[in-house]
């Protein structure tokens, strides 16, 4: 496992261990320094970008980390995570509109709804692996999309949910700049939870299942149950992001459930680096920023650019940004030794 990091064949598998191993092996001070830099960037972000874009980045960071929890650490590529992101967005929006709860509670309700939805979908999906898993999750997500589309009395169909309030005990959060700082703790909590999951004994079992399911089964681990638990946790974290996204935009459209949203989430993870939680955050920042820049410059075919980048990343740059950096750092460290 240690010296496989440098061989391209290993990095090109669906579940390159490079990033995880390299970062985990970095000396403690490096990790703390990185964490400090990350927190500083997070604290500064809405001063350097449009605050609305910064808010989107936070939401998408949660989404990407949720997808990476499955893709990078369990070896399952969900191509239907929009189901959880979108369901939470709708439930959050509905709760906020009709119950007028403070937004963190509405988001919590949304994320819980996403987790509940993840139980049956995950139960069925983990019966298949690899490419079949991707297709099954995709199909069920499309089913959720149809439900939202048809259930107009609740979801308003193609018009979407309008006027999702940003209520927090009367605080004025209409300005995206302040809203960013209001959701930052929630997002950091979600990211920390993902980190905690990955680095727990539970997370180690997931990685064991990813690397060799037969061995994990032989060791007596209930593989399906572990995968399902990971799936539900991932659905919850994706839901956290989707709920915040709904409050952030004060509007929920059917787009949140569309399969291109699921695909974009996977793109973000691959671009950032599969199996590296940091990579997901970085990928989210880049893709959201790029899309904003493209739409701001009046370019209509955003899919052309994101699709093109995606093809390039998959063909030439499979480790993603963080994965490449981590592998490079690892190699440098190995040479010095």
Q: Which of 194, 244, 168 is nearest to 66 (CA)?
A: 194
Burial class (CB in 10 A: 0-12, 13-18, 19+), 292: middle
What Rg, from alpha-carbon coordinates, does the chain have?
A: 19
Smallest separation, CB 317 to another protein (Å):
12
Structure tokens that stand for 127 in this block: 């019966």
Smallest separation, CB 45 to another protein (Å):
27
Residue 21 or 136: the one with the smaller Cβ distance to another protein is 136
List 44, 146, 293, 296, residue binding another protein (CB under 8 A): 146
97 contact partners, CB below 8 Å, separation of at least 6: 161, 163, 164, 165
Smallest separation, CB 207 to another protein (Å):
15
Structure tokens that stand for 187 in this block: 């997002």
Check residue 331 for interaction with another protein (CB under 8 A).
Answer: no
Check residue 303 for interaction with another protein (CB under 8 A).
Answer: yes
Check residue 315 for interaction with another protein (CB under 8 A).
Answer: yes
List 32, 44, 132, 293, residue binding another protein (CB under 8 A): 132
Sketch the per residue contact string, 68 through 87, with another protein: x for CB under 8 A, - otherwise.
Answer: ---------x-x--------
Check residue 213 for interaction with another protein (CB under 8 A).
Answer: yes
By CB under 8 A, what part of segment 16-55 binds another protein? none
Q: Give dist(CA 48, CA 276) in Å, integer.
A: 25
Check residue 135 for interaction with another protein (CB under 8 A).
Answer: yes
Check residue 134 for interaction with another protein (CB under 8 A).
Answer: yes
Q: Give dist(CA 208, CA 154) in Å, integer.
A: 43
Q: Which of 288, 320, 302, 315 is nearest to 68 (CA)?
A: 320
Smallest separation, CB 257 to another protein (Å):
12
Check residue 218 for interaction with another protein (CB under 8 A).
Answer: no
Check residue 180 for interaction with another protein (CB under 8 A).
Answer: no
By CB under 8 A, what part of segment 95-124 binds another protein? 124
Mapped onto helix, strand or coil, the DSSP state of residue 251 is strand
Structure tokens that stand for 21 in this block: 């191993």
Partner residues linked to 180 by β-bridges: none
Stretch that binds another protein, among 20-28, 170-178, 247-255, 314-322 (CB under 8 A): 314-322
Q: Give dist(CA 190, CA 5) in Å, integer.
A: 29
Residue 106 or 313: the one with the smaller Cβ distance to another protein is 313
- DSSP string of 109-173? HHHHHHHHHHHHHHHHHTTS-HHHHHHHHHHHHHHHHHHHHH-HHHH-GGG-EE-----STT---
By CB under 8 A, what part of segment 220-259 binds another protein? 259
Check residue 302 for interaction with another protein (CB under 8 A).
Answer: yes
Residues that bind another protein (CB under 8 A): 12-15, 77, 79, 124-125, 127-132, 134-136, 138-140, 142-143, 146-147, 149-151, 213-214, 259-260, 263, 266-267, 270, 300-304, 306-311, 314-315, 318
């Amino acid at each position: 496992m240690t010296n496989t990091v440098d061989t391209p064949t290993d990095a090109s598998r669906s579940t390159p261990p490079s990033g995880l191993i390299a970062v985990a092996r970095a000396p403690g001070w490096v990790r703390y320094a990185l964490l400090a830099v990350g927190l500083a960037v997070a604290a500064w972000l809405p001063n350097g970008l449009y605050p609305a874009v910064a808010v989107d980045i936070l939401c998408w960071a949660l989404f990407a980390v949720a997808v990476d929890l499955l893709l990078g650490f369990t070896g399952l590529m969900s191509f239907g995570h929009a189901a959880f992101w979108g369901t939470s967005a709708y439930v959050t929006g509905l709760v906020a509109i009709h119950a007028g709860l403070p937004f963190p509670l509405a988001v919590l309700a949304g994320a819980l709804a996403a987790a509940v939805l993840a139980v049956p979908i995950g139960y069925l999906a983990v019966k298949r692996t690899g490419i079949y898993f991707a297709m099954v999750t995709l199909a069920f997500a499309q089913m959720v999309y149809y439900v939202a589309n048809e259930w107009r009395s609740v979801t308003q169909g193609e018009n979407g949910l309008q006027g999702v309030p940003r209520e927090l005990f009367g605080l004025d959060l209409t300005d995206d700049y302040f809203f960013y700082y209001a959701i930052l703790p929630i997002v950091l909590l979600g990211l920390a939870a993902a980190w905690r999951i990955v680095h727990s004994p539970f997370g180690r079992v997931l990685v064991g299942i990813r690397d060799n399911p037969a061995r994990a089964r032989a060791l007596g681990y209930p593989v399906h149950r572990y995968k399902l638990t990971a799936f539900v946790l991932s659905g919850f974290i994706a839901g956290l992001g989707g709920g915040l996204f709904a409050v952030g935009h004060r509007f929920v459209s059917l787009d949140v459930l569309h399969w291109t949203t699921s695909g974009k989430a996977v793109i973000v993870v691959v671009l950032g680096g599969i199996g590296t939680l940091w990579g997901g955050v970085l990928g989210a920042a880049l893709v959201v920023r790029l899309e904003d820049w493209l739409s701001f410059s009046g370019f209509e075919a955003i899919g052309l650019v994101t699709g093109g980048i995606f093809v390039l990343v998959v063909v030439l740059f499979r480790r993603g940004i963080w994965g490449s950096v981590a592998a490079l750092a690892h190699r440098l460290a190995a040479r010095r030794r």
